[in-house]
Structure 1
Amino acid sequence: MPEPQLATTSLGKSVDIHRPEGVTAPAAPTVLLWHGSGPDERDVMGPLARAVAARGVVVLVPDWRADAADGGRAELLDSLAFARDHAAGGRLVLAGWSAGAPAAVGVALRPETAGGWRPAAVVGIAAQYDRPARTTGTVLLDDLTAGRAADAPVPVRLVHGTQDTLEDVAYSRKFRAALAEHGWEADLTEIPADHAGVIMTAYDPAARRCRESRDPAVREAAAVTARVIADVALGV
């Protein structure tokens, strides 16, 4: 894959733009992929972003900081505005890992967060959904049970590792059931991976961050995550 193009949002946050081989304009479906709560960790999502882009999808990975005064809301929504401009009205999917997952799904459940706009679909990876989402400030499970979610549901795809000891797969199972109960098209794909492995990385205790994994088993499992995201973006 070619090296990602570096861009900047209006708030000055860096964005990596991963394009499929041979694509130089926004001619392919676009995914906005949010990292977790580690500050400015777009590099952590690089392995997964490259794997998705290799399937024919443009992937935007912005930095954001969960330790900002607003929990990262302004930076997340600013990156969404950047992605919407970049996609130029084409198919745009939101995806996120860990804390980025409820942030992404929250925009679909509460479109007023983005001025009434809804993504074509959303993908949530390895997360809890019973805590306030960084974009909406509300708990997604509460939004569903209170009937305050969007009245025009979009497809939701969840991916979770069965070996995840930080965010148990039971969280995604519960959320998928709640979505289905309230009329949302929701699927859950479970893979043999831990919290880092689900995005093709391994946690490095010395660096206190995730690094790309070269373990064939990790890469094979996370390739499923990439396929789910790409299929959703391509409308498969």
Structure 2
Amino acid sequence: MPEHELATTSLGKSVDIYHPEGVTAPAAPTVLLWHGSGPDERDVMEPLARAVAAQGVVVLVPDWRADAADGGQAELLDSLAFARDHAADGRLVVAGWSAGAPAALGVALRPETAGGRRPAAVVGIAAQYDRPARTTGTVLFDDLAAGRTADVPVPVRLVHGTQDTLEDVAYSRKFRAALVEHGWAAELTEIPADHAGSIMTEYDPAAHRCRESRDPAVREAGAMTARVIAETALGI
């Protein structure tokens, strides 16, 4: 059973840290997992984070606010700095769901935004990639077209639900093709899930937020996302 502790970034944002029992970073690879555009919704990522941590990975889930004046950039980059301090050996994967996904890809394409260092790998979950990334303010497709490629491109894994009506799976298919065209090692895993189901949750319209799902089919689909993240982290 993964253990849990709470920490705080330098900007005062809460960070949930999930790790296998008796194991902490940097003894295990570390994943920084960003939630979507809902303000301070790190709790939404808990089911997925626990599922990843159960496979031998330390997972950090910070709060951030897309409704901040800078779109959340400062808080996202601050949490990245926090994660790097925990992943002292450099085994850091940056992953994100929905609006968090292009934010994660942004720091790989534009490392100068984040101190000139790329993560070891990136995972994007259920996202649209033709909007400005919250970390860079630029569109990922534009960055690729402008030659924003790495000498040794970092691995990219994309996950998208085929039942997603909020962000169609075609967005990830198109982005993967663009990455490959520009020399990036990119894979797409399609799962039988909607937008919320890709992270083991379901949308609660009364609460206007996602909640953990108990539906076995949803949990199994989300478990596929967790496996992709864990395999990416353990493989670096």
Q: TM-score, normalised by structure 2?
A: 0.98
Q: C-alpha deviations, 1:25-53, integer Å up to 9, x for none?
A: 53100000000000000000000000000
2:25–2:86 Cα contact (<8 Å) kept:
no
Partner secondary structure for residue 187 of structure 1: strand
In structure 2, distance between residues paired with 1:14 and 1:4:
13
Point out 4+ residue stretches in structure 1 off by more than 4 angstroms. none
Q: Identity over the aligned pairs, expressed in percent? A: 89
CA RMSD between the two structures: 1.0
Cα offset, 1:89, TM superposition: 2.6
Alpha carbons 1:121, 1:156 under 8 Å: kept = yes
Q: Is the 8 A contact 2:25 2:58 kept in 1?
A: no
Counterpart residue identity of residue 209, structure 1? R
Structure 2 unaligned residues grouped into runs of 5+: none
User: After superposition, what is the alpha-carbon deviation per residue over 1:122-146, rounded to whole angstroms, capped at 9, x for unaligned?
Assistant: 0000001100000010000111112
Structure 1 residues 22 and 3: alpha-carbon distance in aligned structure 2, compared to 1, 3 A threshold: closer
Give 1:22 shift.
2.2
3-state DSSP class of the match of 1:175?
Answer: helix
Residue 3 (structure 1) shift? 4.5
Offset of residue 185 of structure 1:
0.2
Preserved CA contact (<8 Å) 1:110 1:150: no
CA distance in 2, matches of 1:146, 1:26: 35
What's the counterpart of residue 228 of structure 1? 228
Aligned to 1:46: 46
Alignment-derived partner of residue 154 in structure 1: 154
Confirm whether residue 133 of structure 1 aligns to residue 110 of structure 2. Answer: no
Structure 1 residue 212: deviation in Å? 0.3
Where does residue 97 of structure 2 map in the other structure? Answer: 97
Count of residues in Structure 1 that have an aligned counterpart in Structure 2: 236
**1:199 is aligned with what amino acid?**
I
Secondary structure class of the residue paired with 1:4 = strand
* Structure 1: segments with no counterpart, 5+ residues: none
Match of 1:120 in 2: 120
Between the aligned partners of 1:112 and 1:118, the Cα distance in structure 2 is: 9
